[in-house]
C-alpha cells in the first residue's frame, strides 16, 4: 500500500504495519498532544457553553470520530488498491469529524451555529489536521517504521502497558525476508535485487540481470520497506543487496564496496566501520593454509 502525503512524499507500507501504527506509543502520543493543543487553543469556546463533563464528551466524540474516519478511509484505499492520498484520507477524516462534532454539540445542547461559524470551524479543523499530517510524515513515521519493520507482530503499546515498570517484553524472532517487495507501486523479487541508487527525485532499482527501473520517490522510503537482512544502505545515494557484495576496498579517498558484476559503490565515511564489518561477515577471509614444518634431513655418512 502506498501512502502519499501532502508534501509529495510517498511511503510504501503494508496494511499490517499501518494498523500497528495506530497503536504505537509515538503515534498515540502525537494524537494526544494534538488534542491537548486544540483544548488549550479553544477554537469552539465561543460556540459552546458546556461544563467539564459535556466538554469532555464533545471532544471525545470529535477525536474518536476523526480516528475512525481516518482508519476507514485508509482501509478503503487498501481494499480498492488505491494510493492513500492524504488529501483524501486526512481531509475526509477532518470533514467527517467536523460533522460528528456538530452533531455531538447539538445533542449536548449547543445552539445551531451560523454558516460563517461552521466555515471557520471547518477551515480550522482542516488546517490543524494537515499540520498533524506534516508532523507525522516528518518526525513520527521515521521513528515508528523501524519498530514496525523489526517487530511487526509485536503490540508495543500493549506490551508497555502490561509490563511491570514499563519495560518492554523481548521482541519476537525476526521473520525471514519476503519473496517479493513493493517499491513505489511496482513489485520485485527480493532475490533479484542488486542495487538501489538515488537520482535526484527518482530511485533506480537495479536487478541482478542488469535490468534498471527508474521510479519516482526517495531512497529512504525504499530502504524503509526492505527487510534488513536483504542489504544495507552504505551511502546517502546507495543501497546494496547483501548477495551482491564481494568485498570491501579502502583507499585514501574513502572506501568502496566491490560487487559481483565488477561495479564499485562508494561508502560514506561515517558508515565505513559498520559497512566494513558487514562486508567482512558476508565474505569472511579464508583461513590461512596450514604450512608444514620443514622436515629435517638426517645427515648422511660418507
- Indicate whether 174 pLDDT > 60: no
Whether residue 80 sits in one domain with residue 10: yes
Whether residue 129 sits in one domain with residue 20: yes
Whether 242 and 190 have beta carbons less than 8 Å apart is answered as no
263 found inside a domain:
yes
pLDDT per residue over 51-89, tens digit each?
888 888 999 999 899 989 999 999 998 888 788 888 899
Query: Which of the pair, 23 or 93, is modelled with greater confidence?
Result: 93
C-alpha 232/C-alpha 234 separation (Å) is 6
**100 pLDDT tier (thresholds 50, 70, 90):** very high
Whether residue 30 sits in one domain with residue 124: yes
Provide the pLDDT for residue 76: 92
Whether residue 150 sits in one domain with residue 47: yes
Provide the pLDDT for residue 233: 92
What mean pLDDT is predicted for residues 143-159? 55
Among 104, 131, 166, the domain-final residue is: 166
Nine-digit cell string for 36: 491537548
What backbone phi and psi angles, to 5 degrees, belong to 6?
Answer: -65, -30
Provide the pLDDT for residue 263: 86
C-alpha 235/C-alpha 49 separation (Å) is 58
Q: How many other C-beta atoms are found inside a 10 Å radius of the C-beta of residue 25?
A: 14
Q: Output DSSP code: residue 164.
A: G
Whether residue 274 sits in one domain with residue 227: yes
What mean pLDDT is predicted for residues 165-177? 49
215 found inside a domain:
yes
User: Could you tell me the pTM of the whole model?
Assistant: 0.55
Which residue is associated with the grid cell 494526544?
32
Q: Output DSSP code: residue 50.
A: -
C-alpha 38/C-alpha 59 separation (Å) is 9
Whether residue 62 sits in one domain with residue 90: yes
Provide the pLDDT for residue 194: 94
Whether residue 154 sits in one domain with residue 232: no
C-alpha 151/C-alpha 149 separation (Å) is 6
Mean pLDDT of the chain: 81
Provide the pLDDT for residue 126: 92
C-alpha 262/C-alpha 272 separation (Å) is 20
Using alpha carbons, list the distances in angstroms from residue 128 to 5, 8, 131, 235: 15, 18, 5, 36
173 found inside a domain:
no
Provide the pLDDT for residue 158: 44
Whether residue 251 sits in one domain with residue 102: no
Whether residue 222 sits in one domain with residue 190: yes
C-alpha 179/C-alpha 297 separation (Å) is 62
Residue 245's CATH number: 2.40.50.1020
Which alpha helices (H) appear in 192-268, and where do they start and end?
A: 219-225
Whose CA is closest to 87, among 126, 44, 142? 126
Whether residue 145 sits in one domain with residue 8: yes
Query: Which of the pair, 139 or 162, is modelled with greater confidence?
Result: 139
C-alpha 271/C-alpha 28 separation (Å) is 33
16 found inside a domain:
yes
233 found inside a domain:
yes
Residues of the chain with pLDDT > 90, as a percent, come to 29
Strands (E), 184-236: 186-189, 193-199, 202-207, 212-216, 231-235
Whether residue 217 sits in one domain with residue 145: no
Domain containing 220: what range?
186-282
180 found inside a domain:
no
- Bridge partners of 195, per DSSP, are 206, 240
Whether residue 83 sits in one domain with residue 128: yes
- Indicate whether 241 pLDDT > 90: yes
Across 51-65, 66-80, 171-185, 244-258, least confident range: 171-185
294 found inside a domain:
no
- Bridge partners of 180, per DSSP, are 189
Domains of the chain: total: 2
Amino acid at each position: 500500500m502506498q501512502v502519499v502525503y501532502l508534501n509529495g512524499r510517498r511511503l510504501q507500507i503494508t496494511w499490517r504495519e499501518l494498523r500497528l501504527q495506530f497503536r504505537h506509543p509515538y503515534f498515540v502520543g502525537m494524537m494526544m498532544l494534538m488534542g491537548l493543543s486544540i483544548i488549550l487553543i479553544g477554537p469552539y469556546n465561543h460556540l459552546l457553553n458546556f461544563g467539564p463533563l459535556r466538554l469532555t464528551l464533545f471532544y471525545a466524540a470529535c477525536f474518536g470520530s476523526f480516528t475512525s474516519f481516518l482508519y476507514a478511509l485508509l482501509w478503503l484505499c487498501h481494499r480498492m488498491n488505491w494510493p492513500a492520498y492524504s488529501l483524501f484520507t486526512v481531509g475526509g477524516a477532518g470533514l467527517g469529524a467536523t460533522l460528528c462534532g456538530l452533531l455531538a454539540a447539538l445533542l449536548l445542547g449547543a445552539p445551531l451555529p451560523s454558516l460563517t461559524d461552521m466555515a471557520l470551524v471547518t477551515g480550522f479543523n482542516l488546517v490543524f489536521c494537515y499540520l498533524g499530517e506534516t508532523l507525522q510524515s516528518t518526525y513520527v513515521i521515521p521513528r515508528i517504521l523501524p519498530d514496525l519493520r523489526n517487530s511487526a507482530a509485536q503490540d508495543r503499546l500493549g506490551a508497555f502497558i502490561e509490563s511491570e515498570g514499563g519495560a518492554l517484553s523481548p521482541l519476537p524472532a525476526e521473520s525471514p525476508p519476503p519473496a517479493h517487495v513493493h517499491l513505489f507501486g511496482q513489485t520485485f523479487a527480493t532475490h533479484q535485487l542488486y542495487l538501489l541508487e538515488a537520482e535526484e527525485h527518482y530511485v533506480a532499482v537495479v536487478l541482478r540481470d542488469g535490468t534498471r527501473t527508474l521510479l519516482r520517490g526517495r531512497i529512504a522510503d525504499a530502504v524503509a520497506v526492505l527487510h534488513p537482512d536483504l542489504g544495507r544502505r552504505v551511502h546517502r545515494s546507495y543501497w546494496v543487496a547483501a548477495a551482491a557484495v564481494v568485498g570491501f576496498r579502502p583507499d585514501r579517498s574513502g572506501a568502496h564496496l566491490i560487487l559481483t558484476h565488477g561495479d564499485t559503490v562508494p561508502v560514506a565515511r561515517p558508515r565505513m566501520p559498520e559497512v566494513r564489518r558487514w562486508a567482512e561477515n558476508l565474505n569472511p577471509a579464508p583461513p590461512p593454509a596450514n604450512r608444514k614444518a620443514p622436515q629435517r634431513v638426517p645427515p648422511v655418512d660418507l
